[in-house]
Each structure stands twice: as structure tokens, then as C-alpha cells.
Structure 1
């Protein structure tokens, strides 16, 4: 009998990543004008972000959301479109959404870089 190790291979990106991503844990208070309970921005770059939410959003859907920074006082409005949605299999009823900003968002990039540095 021969044992073959099973390895999980991650799919290769079709297009190389163009911007550095930074892991964050920032609260999202509303999405498209509606309250967003238990929603979080989990990583961000100058070109896009990944949201963790309880509701699945449709790809290509325009999105406008409000992010509360860790100081609890600063709020940022973000606009973009949903480019992908995936269920989080480890946590039932949770979804990750990939958001592409309409323009380069240097403010979010700068704040995320600052937070990840210390």
C-alpha cells in the first residue's frame, strides 16, 4: 500500500496583486444606508477591502459603507462595488465580500498601514 499525502493547494491569482493589503478589524456601522450589525472590515488596501458580514451581497452591486476606526470617534465613508462574495465555512451565516473602490483610497491605506505598524 502506498500513502499519498493530501495537500491543499491554493489557487493561483489570475492577476498579480497590485497593492499591499493590511489586516484590520474595523467596525462597519451601515451598508447602503442600512444598519450593519456585526459587520467588519478585515483587510484593506488603497484599491479595495474585504468585509465580513452576516448578509451576502451580490457581485457587481454598488456599495456605500461607513467604517468606524479603533479610536471610536473617526468615521470614514467608503464607496465601491462588490467584486466577489464567499461564504465563511468555518462560521455559519457569515460572508466575506471583496470590495473594489471606485478610486484609489490613500486615506484608508495610510490608516491601515499606521495601525499594522504598531
Structure 2
């Protein structure tokens, strides 16, 4: 059996995806491209508190100067204020950020666990610089 790929169709699909036009016979559209203001850094750091209350089994999974993705057992609904603290591995300082929950979704493959997106009230560009330095190594 010989498989022949028509690269012109692949290029066409890529162009359609970039323009956000229909990409299937059902008329579905590709999800819109998300433009980020800054780099997101993949981390796996333990979150210590939510709104002053200790939390267990909660982790910070990605972090930027403008927000974070958190996974844990306590779901916080969108549009709620949150302040959370964490300690970076190898650093004794407890750090905190405040922001608003932008989205929350249950993890189907991990019952009882949720992911939440947090947008910080104040962007932390010094954090971005620190993470940029660590990412170089």
C-alpha cells in the first residue's frame, strides 16, 4: 500500500486555520488564536493558601507576569477574587499574588480536581525577569 500526501491540502488547511474560517464540512470554526502579552512558564510548585486558608494538593502549573494556571481540589468560580501564596523550590520566601478567577474547569481524568485560570490585578514584571533567567539554564 502506498500513501501519497497532497501537501497543497495541508497548506490550505493551515491557512484556513490561521484565518479562523470554516475548516470542516459541518461548518465548525477553529478556536480563536489566543494572543498572550507575555511568556508563560511551565512550573510545578505547591500552592500554600487560597484567600488566607491553607490548601492541600494544590499546584501552580504555569505562571507569567499577568496570570497563572492552578490545579487543586477546591474549585473557585469565575469572577471571584483570589489571593494565593506559594514557595518556589530552593527559595525560602513565601510569595503571593492576587487576581480574579477567569475560568474554572473540572478535570474529567482526575475526579475531584479542578484547573483555574487567574488573571493578576497587578502585573509582576520582576517575576517575569526572574523566570526568564531560570529558563535560560
Cα 1:92/1:115, change in 2 over 3 Å: farther
More helix by share: 2
Extract unaligned runs of 5+ from structure 1.
Answer: 1-8
Q: CA RMSD in A?
A: 1.8
Question: Normalization by structure 1: what TM-score?
Answer: 0.83
Cα 1:55/1:105, change in 2 over 3 Å: same
Cα 1:44/1:97, change in 2 over 3 Å: same
1:103 alignment partner in structure 2: 122
Aligned residues: 109
Extract unaligned runs of 5+ from structure 2.
Answer: 1-28
Cα 1:10/1:60, change in 2 over 3 Å: same
Work out the CA distance in 1 between the residues paired with 2:112 and 2:30.
23
Which aligned runs of 4 or more in structure 1 are off by greater than 6 angstroms? none
Work out the CA distance in 1 between the residues paired with 2:134 and 2:109.
27
Q: For CA contacts below 8 A with separation 6 or more, give which structure has more relative contact order.
A: 1
Greater gyration radius = 2
Question: Normalization by structure 2: what TM-score?
Answer: 0.72
Work out the CA distance in 2 between the residues paired with 1:117 and 1:94.
32
